[in-house]
Structure 1
């Protein structure tokens, strides 16, 4: 039997979001219905509202979520009713060429629920990143549910579903930061600050945070940055080199997604160092670099998709670190809000006033 719940819908490009009645089907084969407890407000949700992802309106927004499995469909064995789970948008298929090569964190065929959730009039909704968790309940593929320690705070745990995992994974998985490395992070919003936390977890000896906003630099400092640089008052490349014995950082993580900051990252790394792009560019952006510099500086230029995470490997491990007091996920929760506060949360995010606003149910 279908259920009707409240959820936040983006009806059209640039239009303000609305709270609507959402019809959630019973879980079909391979699916699960999850009672959402908390869901972070991510910049990707704003991209959806603005038409920056695609034009498949109306969207059911929300994807950084944690909750309780309410029911499962036929054939589901990985989770059961009552399990506390973090939702993810990388439900690996185990069949594509990446999975067959033993690289499931690159899965090219991740799957979502087959049945659509709808408005009360039957209009099919497109769930953000295949999740749609700005709703009291949501329907997902069972593989999108990762079981973790139920004693973890839902507001903190849910953030691993996207932005915090992307940042931590950019350092740990994509950048492969090692003990004693020097790391620079350019852009210290939610993802960049999570990259700082990831570098600290990896044992980096020097972590340099770069931003134009003193408030964000303070966030980065509180989560592990050993040095901070205000990008408006220093030559970023030269300042990073000065802090690394004139060499540049071993790993530079670009968490802005702009050509200018990418160039800074490229030239601020040591010879044979690594650049990780985790900031998301817009379609019109272009990058121009002298090819001789690309060749001559060696090393690696990488892009980080979802922190190159494997949810069933990484989420439980990071929750364990959180429970041990070694990863302060609570620090990323700037405020808790209701469904009716999402538009204001978008505005606060745009102004750089919060790391994360989290909707609580």
Structure 2
């Protein structure tokens, strides 16, 4: 039975926050070079301003604080953001299988990002890659909606099929760009497209952090409207919501989130498909409860998937998109059976 009471929801959120913090710190110990948990806690405590016994080596401190800590934080932000995107897309499309990967949003973001990396360069400075990924994600989402709409109605089955078709077309265009572009740059782009958190640095985390927090508050502000859209556009209109306007706001918000996150982590699929269903099993479908719970679960999920990715074939780093695709494919088959 889902948790319903306000006190139960608050306790669940507090528990998930505590587990997430403990998981993020514990995850810093794992990797090709295993570092004792006591050293990890001391290093983190020192950088947070606490007096700690410094019995670790400088190389261990470098690995924990400069290499793994930004990676873990980025993983939590990406997991939280993609989970919120999945919740919003499943609400506005009324399709339980909606996901930024399946609806072509991730492919559009990848197309914009590859276009910048191989051809356009930093036309807007540090914002070039996120901006191009956002525009690609938004353009692909609008294209999917245009293809799926029939007689003014948006059918969930057509939407999913249109998303898969647009995703294939966009990935074909991405592959064409890679084939015709500089081969040295294309090799690094191919690895980036498989999804990974290895490029995380402290100086780039502010942008996804701001976007994820802003996206959380924006989606919470839309929560009542998302509840109404789950019951159909006519129901939303009868309750005083502008269905088309609300849907457009949700698409812009989710495209911005997906674009920024994909520009930093590559195409990580199926997080937005799996996590919302687990969150609904815990707290039901009311979006003021569902969105924050899904965000915390998504952060937890990707932190530990990243731990598995960097330890399973150590010292090699398994692209995290491979792991999420394998888990997501199995989950997708289970959903289809249901």
Fold conserved between structures, TM > 0.5: no
TM-score, length of structure 2 as denominator length: 0.28
- Greater helix content: 2
TM-score, with structure 1 as normaliser: 0.27
Greater relative contact order structure (CA < 8 Å, 6+ sep): 2
